[in-house]
Amino acid sequence: MNELMIQARPHIFNFQTDASALIVIDMQRDFIDSGGFGESLGNDVSRLQKIIPTVKQLISGFRDAGITIIHTRECHLPDLSDCPDAKRYRGSPGLRIGDSGPMGRLLVKGEPGVEIIPALAPIPGEKVIDKPGKGAFYQTDLEGFLQDQHIETLFFAGVTTEVCVQTTMREANDRGYFCLLARDATESYFDAFKQTTIDMIEAQGAIVGWTATVDDILASLHV
């Protein structure tokens, strides 16, 4: 496979499609829709809803190019045995993980709120990773899957930029993967947090990874 090039920041990013994967982080109803866990924390979920079109465009382009796509969902077992007190009992949310809300028990596996929003739903053959933590490598089979597929490069989209997206990128960077974040296909509940995270990722010659727009990513694929 010929090496492709993206006009990225802080500099050109090279990759091969057959050694790449797109990871779409936590585009779930509990974070995106009203009545979910994100809103229970007092957040404006409409901020996250605004990236649905660009995430959809990115997924479609990768599907057309035949590139591996992975979706993640943050969720816990019904008995919450994989949700430590240090995670559940913090702050003063309207509802806590495991409590019953309009879309079932918040962030509990099998409940409606855990599902990826319909506009971005996985298709048959696309891997879905259920993760109990912020990072997608923690207590999951993600690393083994990537190794089996001979993946070297990871593209990232999803929410939230400074929490689950950044955590997974840093985990991937430590494991030797080349990482690129689609700037307009990720979002935070807080403007400053998104921009600061992007600045940290790009700093010092891509210390964590590269960033680019969806249009520039797809232009490299000619889709």
Residue 202 DSSP SS3? helix
| Helical segments of the chain, H only | 29-32, 37-40, 46-49, 52-65, 85-88, 142-148, 166-174, 191-206, 214-221
In b/e form, how buried is each residue of 25-39, taking b as 16+ CB within 10 angstroms? bbbbbbbbbebbbbb
* CATH (domain of 38): 3.40.50.850
Q: State how far the Cα of 165 lies from the Cα of 182, in Å rounded to an integer.
A: 11
Does residue 100 fall inside a structural domain? yes
- Given the residues 56, 131, 134, 194, select the one marked as catalytic: 131
Tens digit of each residue's pLDDT, the chain (223 residues): 579 999 999 999 999 999 999 999 999 999 999 999 999 999 999 999 999 999 999 999 999 999 999 999 999 999 999 999 999 998 888 999 999 999 999 999 999 999 999 999 999 999 999 999 999 999 999 999 999 999 999 999 999 999 999 999 999 999 999 999 999 999 999 999 999 999 999 999 999 999 999 999 999 998 6
Does residue 12 fall inside a structural domain? no
Fill in the amino acid letter for 51.
I
DSSP one-letter string for 106-160: TTBTTSGGGSBPGGG---TT-EEEEESSSSSSTTSSHHHHHHHTT--EEEEEEE-
Is 164 a catalytic site residue?
yes
- Given the residues 33, 75, 134, 164, select the one marked as catalytic: 164
Is 199 a catalytic site residue?
no
Does residue 2 fall inside a structural domain? no
Does residue 11 fall inside a structural domain? no
Instruction: Decide: 43 and 189 in contact? Cβ < 8 Å.
Output: yes
Is 26 a catalytic site residue?
yes
Fill in the amino acid letter for 95.
L
Does residue 128 fall inside a structural domain? yes
Q: Which domain holds residue 37?
A: 17-221
Query: What is the number of structural domains in the chain?
Result: 1
Residue among 165, 181, 186 at smallest CA distance from 54: 186
Does residue 187 fall inside a structural domain? yes
- Given the residues 26, 30, 33, 184, select the one marked as catalytic: 26
Does residue 63 fall inside a structural domain? yes
